[in-house]
Amino acid sequence: MFVDHVKVYVKAGDGGRGCVAFRREKFVPRGGPSGGDGGRGGDVVFRATPHLNTLLPFRYRQHFRAQRGGHGSGNRRTGKDGENLVVEVPIGTQVYDESSGKLLADLVQAGQEVIVARGGRGGRGNAAFATPTQQAPRYAEEGRPGEERCLILDLKVLADVGLIGYPNAGKSTMISVLSAAHPKVADYPFTTLTPQLGVMDCGEFRSLVVADIPGLIEGAHAGSGLGDEFLRHVERCRILVHLVDVSAFGPPDPVTAFEKVNEELGLYNPDLLKRLQIVAATKMDVAEKEKVKRLEEYCSSRRLEFLAVSSVSGVGVDSLKRRLGELCFQEAKDLT
């Protein structure tokens, strides 16, 4: 099961109590106070790991508590610090504070960590309160409580290329051809209910991550169809491949279908319209020539890159793979 939104509770460890003790040894008259300090409580740490791709484990465990600090003891011995609790989350997880809505961290790299709750400081023992005028204090501090809070974890899939389009536009079949992914493929809308990831081999020991985003329809930004449940995953993609069905069974006007999906992207996040986008006319093995011509002319007038592909016959698939590799690796080279 793919889960990308959960609520969890975290509690850092409390600090240990300080100790009230006095030194009592032979040949040491009036030994004085010797109570040690309490240990510090452990932190709760979130760490990004490539070994998870869903927040499903957090459906079964929502409470996380770090170890408390040990109490101080006599002879000025300090209590043991509590161990940190490290919680692994998928790469691409955003951590929000539920009460304020503030973004605490965006974990986009393997091994990246963030402390979401800090442990409490240990209390001071009575030895720390001794003064020339108060040489035998009989009190010590309690440890400070560790931080506790409710967090919202929001997973946004990290991918180089995102496949978008109307339901049943051929996205699932396309990702199965571009990569080794095996998504569900059927001849009815909304076959894909969760984002599917696949790795596309680009040769020369290079690869790209391709994401199949569930179909978008008019009103998706407001919750229609699968709604904005998965629109946020598009935000992570560097390049968008907009698949438009030009077969006799597709939308009557491919240009209208293209514009409606783009309109939903803009209503959800205007920055998505600035993302590099390739228009792919799909199902060319059963395409209507008038639809292909109309879509190609539309793309030419707006300087959009256009490719005609068929996942079944393989027409244009190699060209698409080659072009995606060129764009992604050229962009990486420009950034460096």
Confidence of residue 51 (pLDDT cuts 50, 70, 90): confident
Lowest mean pLDDT among 35-44, 51-60, 198-207, 290-299: 198-207
What does residue 103 show for φ and ψ, rounded to 5 degrees? -75, 115
Please name which of 15, 233, 28 lies closest in space to residue 118, comparing C-alpha atoms.
15
Question: Is residue 87 within 8 Å of residue 153, measured between CB atoms?
Answer: no
> Of the residues 155, 177, 194, which one is the last residue of a structural domain?
155
Question: Is residue 94 within 8 Å of residue 154, measured between CB atoms?
Answer: yes
- Which CATH number is 227's domain given? 3.40.50.300
- Identity of the residue numbered 187: D
Q: Kindly give the pairing relationship between strand 103-107 and strand 85-90.
A: unpaired
Task: Provide the pLDDT for residue 332.
Answer: 47
In a shared domain, residues 178 and 220? yes
What is the distance in angstroms between the CA of the first residue and the CA of the last residue of the chain? Answer: 37
Task: Provide the pLDDT for residue 164.
Answer: 87
- Which CATH number is 96's domain given? 2.70.210.12
Burial of 178 (0-12, 13-18, 19+ CB in 10 A): buried
In a shared domain, residues 124 and 233? no
Reply yes or no on whether the pLDDT at 328 is more than 90: no
Cα separations in angstroms, 223 against 96, 149, 190: 22, 29, 14
Residue bearing tokens 């070994």: 51
Cα separations in angstroms, 153 against 44, 92, 269, 293, 327: 14, 10, 20, 45, 32
> Of the residues 155, 180, 198, which one is the last residue of a structural domain?
155
Task: Provide the pLDDT for residue 201.
Answer: 83
Q: What is the DSSP letter of 181?
A: -
Q: 3-state class of 184 per DSSP?
A: coil
Burial of 187 (0-12, 13-18, 19+ CB in 10 A): exposed
HEC letters along 232-269: HHHCCCCEEEEEEECECCCCCCHHHHHHHHHHHHHHHC
In a shared domain, residues 105 and 232? no
Task: Provide the pLDDT for residue 193.
Answer: 55
Summarize the confidence of residues 105-119 as an average pLDDT: 95
Lowest mean pLDDT among 7-11, 57-61, 122-126: 57-61
286-295 confidence digits (pLDDT tens): 889 999 999 9
- Domain range for 310 is 161-335
Count of CB atoms within 10 A of residue 84's CB? 17
Summarize the confidence of residues 36-58 as an average pLDDT: 92
In a shared domain, residues 305 and 186? yes
Task: Provide the pLDDT for residue 131.
Answer: 92
Task: Provide the pLDDT for residue 220.
Answer: 45
Reply yes or no on whether the pLDDT at 227 is more than 60: no
Q: What is the DSSP letter of 12?
A: P
Task: Provide the pLDDT for residue 176.
Answer: 86
Summarize the confidence of residues 158-166 as an average pLDDT: 84
264-273 confidence digits (pLDDT tens): 888 888 888 8
Taking the CA atoms of residue 153, residue 159, residue 163 and residue 167 in that order, the dihedral angle to the nearest 10 degrees is: -20
Q: How many domains does the chain have?
A: 2
In terms of residues, how long is the chain? 336
DSSP per-residue codes, 116-130: EEPPPPPPPPGGGG-
For all residues of the chain together, what is the average pLDDT?
86
In a shared domain, residues 140 and 169? no
What share of the chain has pLDDT > 90, as a percent?
Answer: 49
170-220 confidence digits (pLDDT tens): 888 888 888 866 655 544 444 555 677 788 887 776 778 888 877 675 554
Question: Is residue 36 within 8 Å of residue 125, measured between CB atoms?
Answer: yes
In a shared domain, residues 122 and 179? no
Count of CB atoms within 10 A of residue 135's CB? 10
In a shared domain, residues 144 and 166? no
Task: Provide the pLDDT for residue 188.
Answer: 43
> Which long-range contacts link 310-318 to residues 24+ away (Cβ below 8 Å)?
310/282, 310/283, 310/284, 310/285, 311/170, 311/173, 311/174, 311/176, 311/177, 311/282, 311/283, 312/173, 312/283, 312/285, 313/284, 313/285, 314/177, 315/284, 315/285, 316/280, 316/284, 317/177, 317/178
In a shared domain, residues 204 and 147? no
> Of the residues 155, 171, 197, which one is the last residue of a structural domain?
155
DSSP per-residue codes, 38-86: PPPPPPEEEEEETT--SSTHHHH--EEEPPPPPPPBTTTBPPPPPPPEE
In a shared domain, residues 292 and 198? yes
In a shared domain, residues 165 and 30? no
| Higher-scoring residue by pLDDT: 202, 121 | 121
Task: Provide the pLDDT for residue 229.
Answer: 60
In a shared domain, residues 262 and 130? no
Summarize the confidence of residues 55-64 as an average pLDDT: 92
In a shared domain, residues 11 and 110? yes
Summarize the confidence of residues 55-77 as an average pLDDT: 93
Task: Provide the pLDDT for residue 27.
Answer: 79
